[in-house]
A and B are shown apart, each in its own frame.
Chain A
Amino acid sequence: MVIGEAKPVAEILEKIKDFKKIVVAGCKGCVTVCNAGGEKEVAILASELRIARKAAGNELETLEYTCERQCDPEYIEPLDDLVKDAEAIVSIACSVGPQYCTARYPYVPVFPGLNTMSIGGAAEHGVWKEYCQACGNCIIGDFGGLCPITRCAKQLLNGPCGGSSQGICEVGKGSIPCIWQLIYDRLKNLNQLHNMQEIKLYKNWSTSRDGGLRTTIREELKQ
């Protein structure tokens, strides 16, 4: 899923300081699962904003709604009734959400209330980790099912650098496992260490962000 993390309230307050009435829009997709942008977080953020503005002597009215998803145009539509009375929108979906709001409401300012952190998953309660960078050409099958593009700080493809020490990456002050140690252990288990002995040459990055904005088309589904 897409992992999100709430922006500091002060940053959002600064962005909306000129508005009296805003919509706070959540999303029932990924950001609900990672406790960053669902119904509950919408209520909390809206109340934090109101309290801060009241304390500053500049009251704010908030209209709250949590969309089924914010990454489908039809699910943005239910915001119409709220947005017509509001001066701005704060979306706490991943950054797709605010951009869909922007597309639907050309004259209403839209601000992100979240930082979109990664494509990842839950590691433990309250901890989410990154697993994918969407390079558009998955190669983890060569690496025991583990991704060095995302999980190696240098995106190496030919094994661990000199900064791999006792299974830990030199980047991250001891908090990040060396993915190459994990790949090595995994390939050893699978009897596939030869995969690490082969020289891996140049990756084609044109399927990644580097190739320009990506559009995925499934002809059979297009209408």
Chain B
Amino acid sequence: MTAEYSAGSRLEKIFKSGQKAVTGECGPPRGCDVEHFKHKANFLKGNVDAVNVTDNQTAVVRFCSMAASKILLEMGMEPVMQMVTRDMNRIGLQSNILGAAALGIKNLLCLTGDHQSFGDHPQAKNVHDMDSVMLAHTVKTMRDEGKMVSGTELQGRPRMFIGAAANPFADPQEFRVIRMGKKIAAGAQFIQTQCIYNMERFRKFMEMANDMGLTEKCYIMAGITPLKSVGMANYMKKFVPGLDVPDHYITRLKGVPKEKVAAEGIKIAVEQIQECLAMKGIAGIHLMAIEWEDHVPEIVQAAGLLPRPVVD
């Protein structure tokens, strides 16, 4: 019955089976230290259904997401290859979509990417030939119509399960769901949200998504990033645009002895996961434990999400 799947990735199969999916994240290093990457990835093995591999996140040069995705495949793990439109034009992007499919990568997350002024090469030229909505459309057109953006026929269609991101906390607030809807209409089959801290605002976002029928058309994964320390929580609140960390979480972290802050952060994350999973229209959790991959097994376990389902 593979015909019913657009790509047949484990992630797609879990969603279609009606079970809640869990994805993790593993950022490639700023160098080609494969062992370090594999060491981090190993903490995720068996604890998540698929692993996002970031594409030069925050515009900092790292080893490329396609190579890292291939390494995960060789480790018996399933990658969600992230791809940003900041660094390549439609020629490079389509070439990489085809190359990724040829390597057996089946999940692709279409992003615009952070602006290079935040990264380690602020003098770089950006490309932005396309945006994330167009990229999702490109992958869908290549997969379903066997055509490139130019209309050129493909020899062999890339079977990709198409994802995109959504930030429910940026402005204008009323437009956030509409923008997610555009990504879905363009081709996104699953959405991973930005890190959620303001549960109230996220609840409203999901209500709007349900009202617009988007949760019927797409699998929405709630993005959770555990707060490792008070410093991290303050940083997220003050310096990361579009991130909304309510004071009550910071108060909670401050209220425990220093050696227990990390455990409190995990407790908060677990509560958030459970709260999100109880919301109508949430199809899974995207757990972004940034440089804290070793805590993923504990968090997933505590959230009652183990063992992970087995699909054919």
Chain A residues proximal to chain B, CB less than 8 Å? 153-167, 170-171, 178, 181, 184-185, 196-197, 199-203, 205
- Residue contact B117 to A171, C-beta cutoff 8 Å: yes
Per-position binary interface string of chain B over residues 74-99, scored 1 when its CB falls under 8 Å from any chain A CB and 0 otherwise: 00000000000010001000000000
Q: Are A165 and B137 in contact (CB under 8 A)?
A: no
B contacts with A, residue count (CB < 8 A): 34
B218 within 8 A of A: no
Q: Which residues of B contact A171 (CB under 8 A)?
A: 115, 117
Contact A158 B172 (CB under 8 A): no
Bound-complex Cα distance A50 to B185 (A):
64
Count CB-based A-B contacts (< 8 Å).
91
Chain B residues closer than 8 Å to A157, beta-carbon distance: 131, 133-134
Least distance between B170 CB and chain A CB atoms (Å): 5
Interface residues of B (CB under 8 A from A): 86, 90, 112-115, 117-118, 126, 128-134, 137, 149, 165, 167, 169-172, 175, 178-179, 181-182, 185-186, 194, 241-242
Question: Which of chain B's residues have a CB closer than 8 A to the CB of A156?
Answer: 112, 128, 131
User: Given A165-B170, A181-B172, A184-B172, are A158 and B242 also a contact pair (CB < 8 Å)?
Assistant: no
**Distance in angstroms between the alpha carbons of A162 and B186 in the assembled complex:** 18
Contacts of A155 in B (CB 8 A): 128, 131
By Cβ-Cβ distance, the 8 closest A-B pairs, closest first, are A162-B167, A170-B241, A158-B133, A155-B128, A162-B242, A162-B170, A156-B131, A159-B179
**Nearest A residue to B126, CB-CB:** A154
Give the residues in chain B near A202, CB-CB below 8 Å: 90, 129-130, 134, 149
B137:A161 contact, CB within 8 angstroms: no
- Chain A residues in 8 Å Cβ range of B169: 162
